[in-house]
Structure 1
Amino acid sequence: MAALAAQELLDGFYVNLGIGIPTLVANHIAPGVDVTLQSENGMLGLGPFPTEADIDADIINAGKQTITELDRTSYVSSADSFGMIRGGHIQLSVLGAMEVAENGDLANWMVPGKMVKGPGGAMDLVAGVGRIIVLMDHVDKAGTAKFRKSCTLPLTGANVVDMIITNLAIFQRPERRSPFFLKAIAPNVLPDEVRAKTEAHYLEMPA
């Protein structure tokens, strides 16, 4: 999923990666594509996700995951970092999700009744970044579809998701007034399986 998302990063982009699987996108950026990765805690120019030998406990992203530096890495205040996000200077963000609705609503910051640390920068990202890609498992641990008709969890943002990459399929829409269409399915996965495990309405792959 991270490798597929990395294909959406274009030369010259400033990109924010969410915690979890999205962090791994940094390991799959194509050679020759010059992308600057940004983290809400004020790090500009993140390197690949570290191997055990490369871990430095003092170099972390906004999710407190250890990451690596580049020769050009710089550090700014959290206020400046969020100024980049809110000012529309980040072209793409790759985030995880608990649920995505067929109209592009996103829920990825809390489950009622469970400990909540706060939304972090997620709400700022979906409001200030031009394109949002979600990486998530197709169903949750109970087998319930995560791409749904509507979100049942508190929203991070309304009508903000442009592309969804799961372990079964890729869904995309050309613009935010359009429905999602099935762009691709994973190897050895049949369209009927995707349909059976998806609650949301979507269009079939264009001819």
Structure 2
Amino acid sequence: MTDIRNRIARRAAADLPEGAYVNLGIGIPTLVADHCPIDREVIFHSENGLLGVGPEPTSEQLDPELINAGKRAVTLVPGAAIFHHNDAFMMIRGGHIDYALLGAFQVAENGDLANWITNGNTRAPAVGGAMDLAVGARNVWVLMEHTTREGAPRILERCTFPLTAQSVVSRIYTELAVIDVENGLRLRDLSPGVGFDQVQALTGVPLLR
């Protein structure tokens, strides 16, 4: 499972352009900072008030007071800044984040995003900052496993879980493929050893080539 998650994060990190400001959401996206090419400057943002997030710390680097929005220990790169979370959300709502990398429970073929609660949840709902990121970032990429633990598709014609935002997702990264949302779902790339028919069989809507 850890290998799958890192594989998804590594593939998404490879596509981030030089100089991009990128928010890393909870879940698989938090791993992206560990896989960013060392010769590329990408500025990672966390909505709890960090700009310039680095890779996961070693045991010697660990600072229990330095965490991201998902409460995961992080490092800071040279020139990083720490500020109030209100300012972090002003960056998001002001359109200053180039890419929001988010986890999801479901994504619809029109880019609808469901990533905060399932129909089976009994805990008090809390959508958190995902709704701000979904509508405030210039691009929204979803990083998730292609199916549920039971093997059901997460990529569907319509989401069956409560929505975070409508028509916001532009790209989906899974352990099987990279899929662009553009007038339907277009297969951009296949993971090594994976065929089109395999991906299609595990996707809830027809894929375009």
The reply to whether TM is greater than 0.5 is yes
Say whether the 8 Å CA contact 1:102–1:202 is kept in structure 2.
Answer: no
Identity, in percent, stands at 45
SS at match of 1:171: strand
Corresponding residue for residue 201 of structure 2: 196
- Counterparts of 1:95 and 1:50 in 2: how far apart (Å)? 22
SS at match of 1:133: strand
Of 80, 97, 121, the residue aligned with 1:73 is 80
Structure 1 unmatched runs, 5+: none
Q: Which amino acid aligns with 2:93?
A: R
SS at match of 2:77: strand
SS at match of 2:184: coil
Greater than 6 Å deviation, 4+ residue runs: none
1:116–1:187 CA distance, 2 compared to 1 (3 A): farther
Q: Which amino acid aligns with 2:199?
A: V
Q: How many residues align?
A: 201
Is the aligned partner of 1:94 residue 2:101?
Answer: yes
1:52–1:111 CA distance, 2 compared to 1 (3 A): farther
Say whether the 8 Å CA contact 1:138–1:167 is kept in structure 2.
Answer: yes
- Counterparts of 1:24 and 1:131 in 2: how far apart (Å)? 18
SS at match of 1:54: coil
- Could you say what the CA RMSD is over the residues aligned between the two structures, in angstroms? 1.4
- Counterparts of 1:19 and 1:50 in 2: how far apart (Å)? 17
1:116–1:167 CA distance, 2 compared to 1 (3 A): farther
Corresponding residue for residue 43 of structure 1: 50
TM score, norm. by length of structure 1: 0.92
Corresponding residue for residue 68 of structure 2: 61
Say whether the 8 Å CA contact 2:200–2:206 is kept in structure 1.
Answer: no
Is the aligned partner of 1:8 residue 2:40?
Answer: no
Corresponding residue for residue 151 of structure 1: 159
